Structure 1
Amino acid sequence: MRALQRQWPEARITWVIGKSEHSLLAGLSGVEFVVYDKTTGLTGMRALWRELADTRFDVLLHMQQALRASVLSLGLKADIRVGYDKARAKDAQRWFTHRQLPPHPRAHVLESFLDFARLLGVEDLSLVWDLPLPKAAFEEAKSITGEVPYLLISPCSSIRLRNFRNWSAEGYAAVIEHAWRQHGLITVLTGGGSTREREMGERIKALGPDDDVVIDVIGETSLKGLLALVDGARAVIAPDSGPVHMANALNNPVVGLYATSNLRRTGPYLWQEYAVDAYPEAVRTYMHKEPADLPWGQRVRHPDAMSLIRAEDVIERLEAVLALPKTPQDMESPDEA
């Protein structure tokens, strides 16, 4: 979106967005948001179609690979509908588009998004996010952490069927102990309000150094507040989940934990070299194959895969990001660096 705005500053950009995602991105400059509540089903789709009934778009970028999104797109008027190429399209998306992206084998998800800008002729693909952080978000974060330097850990990924992306409470506790003993960093635990996430927070605290070292706000922050906490952290540690990409967009040091999903496809784009990457080992151990032999994006659906990540591996990466200069690095892709 930022690349499109640089190319055509006067272009009108409408973003059809989910309700929870909008709570994170509200206030993004130069965008008209149309919020769709996924829980409302066809009723919500019809309401959205009525809202945009008098609008015809030059181009519809079909960037969400889900059948629900494809059905929703049918009620929008557009001269050209652009979707993914055959190899990347899912849920029969190609039946809902006029134009497909050129093939881009083994692309990172971020690069796949940028392919839409490339197809439209955009040349400047500099990585700029400019995420809006209101004063209230910073105040929310400060009310939690005060002026004390801290490490932020979001220990759980989203709840999905056979989603084995979470590391162990014991592992996190060892990292928390190290951050406190060696660097004087307290740890802030964040995440959603599910029972599983709250229980994980309780287990981590029980294993941690003492009550003053860990601040557990799992399920208690707004998304903007979480973004502000990410922004103020000395470093962020999380599995394959939203917070690693929040940190990436804010160019804040992040250690991603990857074993069941391919770091090269979904890892924090600017911080891949600092991630713990046990995916190749997990593929060999639990699938008895080489990563290069798998379809791009293939997950390792084994409950023990994340146990391949050792606490000392995470601590090593944490030490590496904490040793980095505090001046922001240039926003350039790994291929250009």
Structure 2
Amino acid sequence: MKPPLPADPRHICVLRLSALGDVCNLVPTVRALQRQWPEARITWIIGQGERSLLAGLSGVEFVVYDKATGLAGMRALWRELADTRFDVLLHMQQALRASVLSLGLKAAVRVGYDKARAKDAQHWFTQRHLAPHPRAHVLESFLDFARLLGVDDLSLEWDLPIPALAVKEARQLTGSAPYLLVSPCSSIRLRNFRNWSAEGYAAVIEHAWRQHGLKTVLTGGGSTQERQLGERIKALCPQEIVTDAIGQTPLKGLLALIREARLVIAPDSGPVHMANALGTPVVGLYATTNPDRAGPYCWRDFVVDRYPHAVRTFLHREPTELPWGRRVRHPDAMSLIRADEVIERLEAVLALPEISPATEPSDEA
């Protein structure tokens, strides 16, 4: 028999290790659980970088697992939680590593994805499964866990903490004038191919300056690839309109920069979902990934969507014929995005009433 779901859980475990965008999309589910059961403890097992992004999230205890530590790290985490028994474990990471990690956790019931959405045989490691939800956005898939537990209020809430110091440092970097924030690179992964061209970004940056007086802040990590793309973009733009902050801010600093920006432009990557979480307008650039599944949830109408074109061009199929979530892994896919399309979306966003920041700086250190 399947174990029953708890009617009034006292201790909930969320298992989701990565990635930055995904953990941002998961926060509304955590907030929904907190509204339903305000007295419940929530322990979130999370990756190291992801924890630094969400540090200070109210009402959540983080337990960090660094995947680089392998089995030794798993054993250390199991020892740390040896005396803890959860009323329910929400297994939200579809990876064999996470499923193995879950085996060392004590829980009355383990909840995972339905068979159609489960990857790496995740459904073998769980006892209760979500109801089918074909073609769901990632954020909606996370909310399905709350739905299964009987949560009534699924309204979207983030309230991400940003330290006052991070906001102060961001303002020192950018000044008081409004700015466009461009995060040109996605994470470095094998056959990722999500990055747009330096020439395209430069054309949009110069348009934003000439038509709206918006200078641009470039952000990203400190990898060689990101620095090189940033240098190429700067070389194509008037020097005085671009501030290069690539590799210069921690994740809380990146949140502060995004929160203060007039608009964010980025490919499918963490910053589009951070902007979405903070209520900052965002234009996502999508060709290798389906934005209906992984676009910035509240700003999908402003995405530059070349995914259907990429599917037809490089996979010679129709999008409806593909498994949900299939990526187009071709190095030329993002070249289908034209600068005039991005500028059109930029103009559409800037024509909207200006939105007040979604959160005020917190005192979190």
Give TM class, smaller chain.
Answer: over 0.9
Partners of 2:90 and 2:145 within 8 A in 1: yes
Is 1:3 paired with 2:58? no
Partners of 2:260 and 2:357 within 8 A in 1: no
Equivalent position to 2:233, from 204, 217, 231: 204
Partners of 2:45 and 2:64 within 8 A in 1: yes
Query: What residue in structure 1 maps to residue 287 of structure 2?
Result: 259
Q: Structure 1 CA distance, aligned partners of 2:356 and 2:220?
A: 26
Q: Structure 1 CA distance, aligned partners of 2:122 and 2:61?
A: 24
The residue identity in structure 1 corresponding to 2:327 is R
Gaps of 5+ in 2: 1-29, 359-365
Give the alignment of 1:20-35 within 5 angstroms: 20-35=49-64
Per the alignment, in what secondary structure is the counterpart of residue 170 of structure 1?
helix
Which 4+ residue blocks in structure 1 deviate beyond 3 angstroms? 327-330
Q: CA deviation at 1:329?
A: 11
Q: CA deviation at 1:136?
A: 1.2
Q: CA deviation at 1:328?
A: 5.5
Number of aligned pairs?
Answer: 329
Equivalent position to 1:174, from 191, 194, 203: 203
Q: CA deviation at 1:271?
A: 0.2
Is 1:250 paired with 2:278? yes
Q: CA deviation at 1:148?
A: 2.0
Give the alignment of 1:87-236 within 5 angstroms: 87-208=116-237, 210-236=238-264
Query: What residue in structure 2 maps to residue 45 of structure 1?
Result: 74
Higher relative contact order (CA 8 A, sep 6+): 2
Q: Structure 1 CA distance, aligned partners of 2:169 and 2:229?
A: 23
Is 1:59 paired with 2:88? yes
Q: CA deviation at 1:143?
A: 1.8
Q: How much identity, in percent, do the aligned residues show? A: 79
The farther-off stretch of 50-59 and 321-330 is 321-330
Equivalent position to 2:350, from 310, 322, 337: 322
Q: CA deviation at 1:183?
A: 0.7
Partners of 2:181 and 2:261 within 8 A in 1: yes
Q: CA deviation at 1:212?
A: 1.3
Q: Structure 2 CA distance, aligned partners of 1:19 and 1:263?
A: 27
User: TM-score normalized by structure 2?
Assistant: 0.89
Per the alignment, in what secondary structure is the counterpart of residue 5 of structure 1?
helix
Q: Structure 1 CA distance, aligned partners of 2:286 and 2:356?
A: 25
Q: Structure 2 CA distance, aligned partners of 1:193 and 1:306?
A: 22
The residue identity in structure 1 corresponding to 2:319 is P
- Mark the CA change 1:102 to 1:79 in structure 2 (over 3 Å): closer, same or farther: same
Give the alignment of 1:263-282 within 5 angstroms: 263-282=291-310
Q: CA deviation at 1:327?
A: 3.8
Per the alignment, in what secondary structure is the counterpart of residue 161 of structure 2?
coil
**Root-mean-square deviation over aligned CA pairs:** 1.1
Q: Structure 2 CA distance, aligned partners of 1:168 and 1:123?
A: 44
Per the alignment, in what secondary structure is the counterpart of residue 92 of structure 2?
coil
Q: Structure 2 CA distance, aligned partners of 1:329 and 1:93?
A: 38
User: TM-score normalized by structure 1?
Assistant: 0.96
Is 1:81 paired with 2:100? no
The residue identity in structure 1 corresponding to 2:255 is L
Q: Structure 1 CA distance, aligned partners of 2:168 and 2:353?
A: 26
The residue identity in structure 2 corresponding to 1:14 is T
1:114-152 CA distance string (max 9 Å, x none): 000000000100000000011111012112101121100
Per the alignment, in what secondary structure is the counterpart of residue 239 of structure 2?
coil
The farther-off stretch of 309-318 and 143-152 is 143-152
Partners of 2:112 and 2:126 within 8 A in 1: yes
Q: Structure 2 CA distance, aligned partners of 1:230 and 1:222?
A: 12
Is 1:291 paired with 2:319? yes
Q: Structure 1 CA distance, aligned partners of 2:355 and 2:200?
A: 30
Gaps of 5+ in 1: 331-337
Partners of 2:266 and 2:272 within 8 A in 1: yes
